[in-house]
Copies of this chain bind each other. A is one copy, B any other.
Amino acid sequence: MDVTTYCHDLADRALTASRKLVSASGAQRNAALAAVARRLVESGAKIKDANARDLQAGKEAGLSAAMLDRLKLDDAGIKKMAESVKQIAAQTDPVGQIIEGSVRPNGLRLEKVRVPIGVVLIIFESRPNVTCDAAALCIKSGNATILRGGKEAMHSNAAIAACVREGLAEGGLDVDAVQLVETTDRAAVGELLKMEGKIDLAIPRGGESLIRAVVEQARIPVIKHYTGNCHVYVHGDADEQMALDICINAKTQRTGVCNACETILIHDDAAKRGLLTRIADALIERRVEVRGDTAVCAAVPQAVAALESDWGTEFLDLIVAMGVVDSLDAAVAHINKYGSRHTDAIVTQSIAAADQFVQQVDAANVFVNCSTRFSDGGEYGLGAEIGISTDKLHARGPMGAADLTTYKWVARGNGQVRE
């Protein structure tokens, strides 16, 4: 079968499965998820065998230790996947929720009702647990999904997808509600991204180059999860200890994640109070490399001069760009110019400053007096997330199961016609 035929076949199966899924009750979808969780644990040995093949191939291909680490699945990892599926099953069912409703003057009863989107294509890179999380979120929200994982995790992904499909069958749902793209032919992604009318949405998860390639090729809607170039802005009146705690936490508590802080901006008044050196010293003490503007370099001997490109970089490492600004306006302008619209925080005691920052910073998550690390589906109480959208359309910020739904307008009448 050629790749075009293969992809159309995948999409047709997914569409058929999605049409059946809309009639499955929440209880049925949850029962299937419970079965998936059970199968994952029962099939632990098979999954580990498959994973061992991927790890072996990865070593032979010269993957870095970090990549091999992301790829590795042990008993604890498998148990964690199963737990995640159970947690997703336990979430509130978004399908069927009535978002709004009214009775029109002519007696029509109008409801805006949450329904599954239909068929969702998810394209991701190395971590095999994404196969499981993405499939579970789609099942929960009543969507059929086509999963395209990284080549380096192909055996692991296939073993996990097999468990998911066994669980679907056990739960009485169409196994084609979850399909894994089994060819490594790169043309397959291009084909799938053009299937308007069959596939409703593409979600690429991974590096910026993957996402850009998807956007270039897509004729179907794409929700993008670009980088997190997150800022902490320390206002002139900031509480010293609070500013220090938040900067340290946002930068160092976990560096390799999208909601970690990459740039710290400090108001001149705070710098004059000694906050600049206190924060810089605390970070340097924690092995953070400080890349500063002129003012920072003048005050902090260990700082190196920041390049223009540093202000726009997601370091994902023990590196921070630091600058001094002479006003809140300047801080907002800097963030709107260099930021990635992900998560930005202000530390201040002033209501007016907080309100201005919240209103004017154009980002998915805008925080006052807390660490940027809180932009997260779990922290927001949304449960497991499919990612953190840096788009503005449809879903922005942490995307949970409800964000994998759309709505339909349902009107019920008793013979109304339009005059």
Contact = CB atoms under 8 A, between A and B. Distances in A.
Interface of A: 19, 22-23, 102, 104, 108, 110, 117-118, 196, 200-201, 215-216, 219, 221-223, 239, 241-242, 245-246, 248-250, 253, 336, 354, 356, 358-360, 362-371, 373-375, 379-381, 391-394, 396-398, 406-418
Contact of A360 (B23, B364, B414): B23
A418 B371 contact: yes
B410 A371 contact: no
The 5 lowest CB-CB distance pairs between A and B, nearest first, are A370-B413, A249-B417, A373-B418, A392-B406, A370-B416
A370 B368 CA distance: 49
A369 B412 contact: yes
B370 A200 contact: no
Nearest to A253: B418
Given A104-B380, A380-B409, A415 B365 contact: no
A154 to B, nearest CB: 30
Contacts of A410: 358, 365-368
B117 A414 contact: no
B221 A409 contact: no
A369 B417 CA distance: 9
Contact of A219 (B216, B223, B371): B216
A397 B99 CA distance: 14
A16 B241 CA distance: 36
B104 A408 contact: no
A403 to B, nearest CB: 10
A118 to B, nearest CB: 7
Nearest to A102: B381
Given A362-B118, A368-B413, A412-B368, A374 B418 contact: yes
Contact of A371 (B365, B393, B409, B416): B416
Given A23-B360, A412-B368, A393 B393 contact: yes
A177 to B, nearest CB: 16
B380 A393 contact: no
7 contacts: A23-B356, A23-B359, A118-B392, A242-B415, A370-B417, A393-B393, A396-B408
Nearest to A370: B413
Contacts of A196: 215
Contacts of A219: 215-216
Contacts of A370: 108, 411-417
A15 to B, nearest CB: 9
Given A118-B392, A221-B393, A393-B201, A364 B417 contact: no
